[in-house]
Amino acid sequence: MRTSDLRLAAPAAGCWAAAATALAAPVAVSVSISAGFGAAGIATAVWSRRNAGLRRAIGVSAAAACGLIAASALAVVLRVIAVDSAPIRTAEGKPTVEVETTGDPVFLTGGRMRVPVTVRALSGLRQRPVAAQLTAPVDGPDVLPGERYRVRVRVRPPRDRAADRLQAAQLTATGPMTGLRGPPWWQRAAGTVRERLRDVSLRALPERSAGLLPGLVLGDVSGLDERTAADFRAAGLAHLIAVSGLIVR
C-alpha cells in the first residue's frame, strides 16, 4: 500500500506562511518573526545535542525547519527594505534610469509593451537593484531578458498594493530606450527560436492562427490579435498563452 511522505509539508507551509506574513506585516513585525524562529532553531539544535536516538532526530529536523522559516521571512524583509529605501521610489520629474530586463515583454494595445525590469541606476548614480515595471513603445527588435537600457521615464507607484511591497515603481518611458548591453547568449538563442517559430507560423497558417501558435507553444503573444486574446480571457484560458504570468491587456 502506497503512503504519502509528508515530512516536508510542515516546513514548506511554514516558509510560505512566513513569507506571506512578511509581505503583509510591518517590517518590525517581520524581523521579530524571523528572529524568533532563528532563536527557536538555535535552542532546538542545542537541545538535540543533549539527546540521542529519536529525540535527537526530531530535534535536528525541527531546528532545520525553524532555520528555513527564519530565512524565508528574512529574505522577504530584506527585499521589502530595499524597495522602501530605493531612490527611484521618491524620484520627481522625469529622471533617467538604467534598467535591466528580467522577463519577456507583454504587448499592449497601441504599439506599447510592458516589461519587468531591475532599476540599477538613477540619474547616473548607482543604487541597490530593485524591481519595477517599464511601459514603453514597441520599437525595433524584440526585447530579451538580460538586456540593459538607459531611458528617461515618468515614475508612478506600483499598480496594486500587493506589488507595492516588492516593486519600487511603475515606469513609463518618455524617450527612446538606449541599449547599453545585449542579452546573454542563452537568451539570444531563445529569442532566435521564438523568431523562427513566428516566421514558420506566418508562412504556414492564417493570420489569427499564426499569432496564436507561438503563444501556446512558447508564451510569445507578440503576434496575438486582441480579439483572440479577449476570447481566451472570457473562456478562462488566458494562462495557456501567458508570458511571465501575464496576458495581453
Judge whether 108 and 249 are in contact, CB under 8 Å.
yes
Give how far the C-alpha of residue 4 lies from the chain's centroid of Cα atoms, to the nearest Å.
Answer: 32
Per-residue pLDDT of the chain (249 residues; tens, 9 = 90+): 566 666 778 888 889 998 888 888 888 888 998 999 999 989 988 888 887 777 788 888 888 889 999 999 999 999 888 888 888 888 888 899 999 998 877 777 777 888 889 999 888 788 888 999 999 988 766 788 889 999 999 998 887 655 567 888 899 999 888 888 888 888 888 778 878 888 888 888 887 777 777 777 776 666 676 677 777 777 777 666 665 444 444
CATH 2.40.50.140 fits 90-183, yes or no: yes
**What b/e sequence results for 40-69 when a residue is b if at least 16 CB atoms lie within 10 Å of its CB, and e otherwise?**
bbeebbeebeeeeeeeeeebebbbebbbbb
Residue ranges of the chain assigned to CATH 2.40.50.140 = 90-183
pLDDT the model gives residue 70: 92
pLDDT the model gives residue 246: 45
Helix, strand, coil: what percent of the chain each, to 5?
A: 50, 20, 30
Residue 241 has a CB neighbour count (10 Å cut-off) of 24
Judge whether 11 and 68 are in contact, CB under 8 Å.
yes
Residue 178 has a CB neighbour count (10 Å cut-off) of 12
Please tell me the distance from the alpha carbon of residue 136 to that of residue 80, in angstroms, as a whole number.
Answer: 26
The bridge status of strand 125-137 relative to strand 148-156 is unpaired
Judge whether 11 and 64 are in contact, CB under 8 Å.
yes
